Amino acid sequence: MSEERTGVITLQGNPLTLLGPEIKVGDKAPDFKVHEGLGNIVNLDSYEGKIKIFNVIVSVDTPVCDIQTRRFSKEAENFPEDVEILTVSMDLPFAMSRYCGNAGIEKLKNVSDYQFGSFGESYGTLIKENRLLARAIFVVDKDNIVRHAEYVPEVASEPNYDSALEVVKTLL
């Protein structure tokens, strides 16, 4: 049974329960198992030697998640090859692929936690009430140490992009 955390996030003012631990700066990044595309299962080691930005969203089909994903897509154009931006959600790989195709997003990797809930439980973003992921950003360095962790308190609000991006710049 996963650790339950209350009082951390809300959706339109209504409190939600997060499953899994709170990840903090300085923690070793937890492993996970997600789908990258159809059938291709990846984990933390799949991105070995890279700086990783985990752009955690509720669904590509919601307005704030669209804004957040497009923002990281734009930022990806300025980063070298050793920075990997992964948009993580419970969306099916089909939906993620459709969304990226329609939005012209090519530089982000989209990973789906729909089958295992592994990322959500490992990073403490799995919402108990609806089995979606809470909005969050994690920056993990090449040695898999968490250098930035933000759980957005109100799911319908945008994260602090600048704070995460400043951390990435210090790791380059």
Q: Write out pLDDT tens, residues 75-117.
A: 999 999 999 999 999 999 999 999 999 999 988 999 999 999 9
For the entire predicted model, the pTM comes to: 0.96
Tell me the domains of the chain and their CATH numbers.
20-171 (3.40.30.10)
Establish whether 65 is a catalytic residue: yes
What per-residue confidence (pLDDT) applies to 107?
A: 87
Q: What average pLDDT does range 6-17 have in this prediction?
A: 95
Helical axes 161-171 vs 63-76, angle rounded to 10°: 20
Structure tokens given for 40: 């291709």
Q: Enumerate the β-bridge partners of residue 112.
A: 35, 89
Q: Give 38's pLDDT tier (boundaries 50, 70, 90).
A: confident
The 10s digit of each residue's pLDDT in 112-171 is: 999 999 999 999 999 999 999 999 999 999 999 999 999 999 999 999 999 999 999 999
Measured between alpha carbons, how far is 63 from 97 in angstroms, rounded to an integer? Answer: 17
| Residue among 18, 19, 53, 65 flagged as catalytic | 65
